Structure 1
Amino acid sequence: MALITAAATFAGCSSSPSSDGERPSYTTSDDVQARVLPQLAANGDDVESADDASWVVDATVAGVDEGTTVTLLAKTDGGDWDEVSEGETDADGHVALTSDTAGTLVVVTGDGDDAIGTEVDTSDAPEPTFTDEFDDADSVDGGPDAKWRTRQQGRTGVRTCSHADPSAAEVTDGVLVLSVEEDPAGGECQLPGRRKMFPYRINGHVGTESIFGFTYGYAAARIRTQSARGQHAAFWMQAVGGQQPGGPKAGGAEIDIMEYFGDDHPEGGLTSFTYFLDKAGKKQTLGGWLPDVDDLGDDWAEKYHVFSVEWTPEEYVFRIDGQVTQRIEGETSGREEFLILSLLSSDYELPRFNGELPETMEVDWARVWETGPEEG
């Protein structure tokens, strides 16, 4: 492992916390940079509060080989220092670590006299500005206090065989359940060039338009997806007032934080995209299918995972449970954006349907930490 010799200040005076629980010894070095992100990691089977999610520590170590081990330590209630997370650097020296423990955290790499590190604190993470734990049945379409409303999406565009309907979005037992179901009005739809008929469908499709929007920061949702192909779960954002030509900064963008197209998809099933209109009004697309999805997990329809985006004026950083999955650099939306959660059955997906209706997507919570352009 290659480490760097740098001017530094000695911090700590004891051995590894794995042996005696005391503060670790390391040399404070500018070669270890770290920042505390919000609570963006919480995979598991059960419903949990957003406040119980893990903080993410985004760390970079300069001058080390890919695969260098980095350790995160936290001070427990009993006063001992314990290792709470460990990871390996990528080719650029980046690593994402997590902590369930609030307070001071220490990021360390190397052993003995060669150990270098830095200190951060969870209080440095931004405070949430929007949270919905879906504990209130009126949270969706529930009158003036609703945080989400069913979007007015009829049978049009790429969804001529389906439309949004309030009955396909239900809040129950602390979870928002979005469904794709056969349209109770009946009828069948025929796609151009195909002989097979498909039952018309209704989709769960809700958003915070005219209720909540923000510009720059973090947006996250804890989601358990559908399993079947033929529809896709999605957590995304659109510009308030609609996109306009002129590029993303002036005209806004669609930011697809996650889309899941079903188990056993040949491309892995997960995507992150952004769309905007250039100065000529032509649609531009960035992003794509997430590579190496199996390294991130294979239980999307079985467990909840936190899907998030960090949106700054210079880039979008997409994460799953705090792990960076895609980074899109360059000019980003400079407009206020609102949140959308949906389970949509597009026409092009219907021939690939391999499940049983209803198919469902579950959302445990959604949260935003607005930073504004300067912090972002």
Structure 2
Amino acid sequence: MAFVTTACSSAEEAGPPSYEPSDAVDVQVLPQLAATGEDVESADDAAWVVDATVADVDEGTAVTLYAKTEDDAWEAVSEGETDKGGAVALTTPAPGRLHVVVGDGDGAIGAEASTDDAPEATFTDDFDEDTVDEPDGTWVSRDQGYIGVRTCSRTDASAAEVGDGVLTLSVLEDPDGGECQLPGRRKKFPFRLNGHVGTEGLYGFTYGFAAARIRTQSARGQHAAFWMQAVGGQSAGGAKKGGAEIDVMEYFGDDHPEGGLTSFTYFLDEDGEKQTVGGWLPDVEDLGDDWSTDYHVFSVEWTPDEYVFRIDGQVTQRLEGETSGRQEFLILSLLSSDYELPRFNGELPETMEVDWARVWETGPR
């Protein structure tokens, strides 16, 4: 959606630098998808993301976002440079009118937008109260135990706790004791309990934005994840008909040789064969190196034609093509799969923390 002004800043009201309104500047205001930092925050305090695309400009062209702050003054709240396609992602913590300005002086062009144009949230859990395995809650512990790719771990409600505005998911030693030996390996590992919750049977949606503000575990040997699965389970016939698993983020630990972060999706084709798209995020060091010390917002924009994965509003992966046409439910987990155990380099318990989870349903648009 483009927002094009017919007038720029006036003499009566101090505002952003004057610019020529131009339809060469295409602006879309996305939901509140950016919120980094060490402290717990309300989902309502996250920053809006403003996607701008400028036609016919060189890569590295400067773009500035102006917003009116609490002291009623216009300020530059975000700056960025266009990529090779002319796109840039900017953020604003201030609601209301916005100006996106390209260049400066007499040659500046731009467009006006507003945070009112962003989709409205339809599901929010700030974890200010316990909503896991409660009669009126929104999350349930998922059933998984000592089978499949996790023969050495199982889900347990004791590994998912809510307190002080945070959902803490853990990998714990199973208090029932015992050791697990993987095929072909001499070393044994303590059986583990995993934190693994979802909204299955309680909440699902089709198309929109889904986000969670997460601080990951630090050690390898388990992976933090925010993902979705089709309500009622996947079936053959392609993503639109049969649904998909949408892995918004998985983090496999600090100092991972591949950077540690993945985003991907998989579905079953007409023959029931698993088809996987996506994978390791490239150039993770450009996105940050504080995943286990600071919170970051991991999100997916899901339309009938593509999945767009973002971290704090910055696009990390775009998967184009047919997407799930089924309702999907949310999942948050810290799982220790068998293939990860030999790489374990931490101390149990390992934990991931979720500050909030939110959905903005849009329909097919």
**TM-score with structure 1 setting the length:** 0.94
CA contact (8 A) 2:213 2:298 kept: yes
Which of 114, 117, 123 does residue 107 from structure 2 map onto? Answer: 114
CA contact (8 A) 1:66 1:91 kept: yes
Question: What is residue 192 of structure 1 aligned with on the other side?
Answer: 183
Question: What is residue 116 of structure 2 aligned with on the other side?
Answer: 123
Whole-Å separation in 1 of the counterparts to 2:272 and 2:23: 45
Instruction: List per-residue Cα deviations over 1:154-193 (Å, max 9, x = no partner).
Output: 1111000000000000001110000001001111101010
> Are 1:225 and 2:216 counterparts?
yes
> Are 1:140 and 2:132 counterparts?
yes
Whole-Å separation in 2 of the counterparts to 1:167 and 1:150: 10
Question: What is residue 97 of structure 2 aligned with on the other side?
Answer: 104
Name the count of aligned residue pairs.
Answer: 362
Question: What is residue 271 of structure 1 aligned with on the other side?
Answer: 262
CA contact (8 A) 1:132 1:366 kept: yes
CA contact (8 A) 1:23 1:80 kept: no
Q: Give 1:9 shift.
A: 5.1
CA contact (8 A) 1:234 1:341 kept: yes
Which of 186, 200, 207 does residue 209 from structure 1 map onto? Answer: 200
Q: Give 1:76 shift.
A: 2.4
Q: Which amino acid aligns with 2:339?
A: Y
Unaligned runs of 5+ in 1: 1-6, 15-19
Question: What is residue 336 of structure 1 aligned with on the other side?
Answer: 327
Whole-Å separation in 2 of the counterparts to 1:249 and 1:368: 20
Whole-Å separation in 2 of the counterparts to 1:74 and 1:116: 16
Question: What is residue 49 of structure 2 aligned with on the other side?
Answer: 56
Question: What is residue 31 of structure 1 aligned with on the other side?
Answer: 24
* Matched-pair identity in %: 75
CA contact (8 A) 2:17 2:104 kept: no
Question: What is residue 69 of structure 1 aligned with on the other side?
Answer: 62
Q: Give 1:8 shift.
A: 9.1
Question: What is residue 43 of structure 1 aligned with on the other side?
Answer: 36
CA contact (8 A) 2:238 2:267 kept: yes
Q: Give 1:81 shift.
A: 1.1
Q: Which amino acid aligns with 2:9?
A: G
Whole-Å separation in 2 of the counterparts to 1:226 and 1:76: 35
Q: Where do 4+ consecutive residues of structure 1 move more than 3 Å? A: 7-10
Write out aligned runs for 1:253-268 (5 A): 253-268=244-259
Whole-Å separation in 2 of the counterparts to 1:22 and 1:50: 28
Question: What is residue 17 of structure 1 aligned with on the other side?
Answer: none
> Are 1:157 and 2:154 counterparts?
no
Question: What is residue 9 of structure 2 aligned with on the other side?
Answer: 12
Q: Give 1:94 shift.
A: 0.7
Unaligned runs of 5+ in 2: none
Whole-Å separation in 2 of the counterparts to 1:282 and 1:162: 27
Q: Give 1:78 shift.
A: 3.3
**TM-aligned CA distance change 1:10 to 1:114, over 3 Å:** farther
> Are 1:307 and 2:304 counterparts?
no
Whole-Å separation in 2 of the counterparts to 1:172 and 1:10: 49
CA contact (8 A) 1:182 1:200 kept: yes
Whole-Å separation in 2 of the counterparts to 1:278 and 1:90: 34
Instruction: List per-residue Cα deviations over 1:108-164 (Å, max 9, x = no partner).
Output: 101111100001100011111110011112x00112x01100000111110000000
Whole-Å separation in 2 of the counterparts to 1:226 and 1:79: 41
Q: Which amino acid aligns with 1:119?
A: E
**TM-score with structure 2 setting the length:** 0.97
Whole-Å separation in 2 of the counterparts to 1:114 and 1:336: 47
Q: Give 1:21 shift.
A: 4.6
SS of the residue 1:11 aligns to? coil
Q: Which amino acid aligns with 1:74?
A: A
Which of 336, 347, 351 does residue 356 from structure 1 map onto? Answer: 347
Whole-Å separation in 2 of the counterparts to 1:256 and 1:8: 38
Question: What is residue 371 of structure 1 aligned with on the other side?
Answer: 362
> Are 1:284 and 2:249 counterparts?
no
SS of the residue 1:250 aligns to? helix
Q: Which amino acid aligns with 1:71?
A: T
Instruction: List per-residue Cα deviations over 1:59-107 (Å, max 9, x = no partner).
Output: 1001111111100000123332100000011111110000010000000
CA contact (8 A) 1:313 1:331 kept: yes
CA contact (8 A) 2:171 2:350 kept: yes
Question: What is residue 242 of structure 2 aligned with on the other side?
Answer: 251
Question: What is residue 235 of structure 1 aligned with on the other side?
Answer: 226
Q: Give 1:13 shift.
A: 4.6
Q: Give 1:11 shift.
A: 2.4
SS of the residue 1:294 aligns to? helix
**RMSD, matched Cα:** 1.4
Whole-Å separation in 1 of the counterparts to 2:349 and 2:263: 25
Whole-Å separation in 2 of the counterparts to 1:185 and 1:314: 47
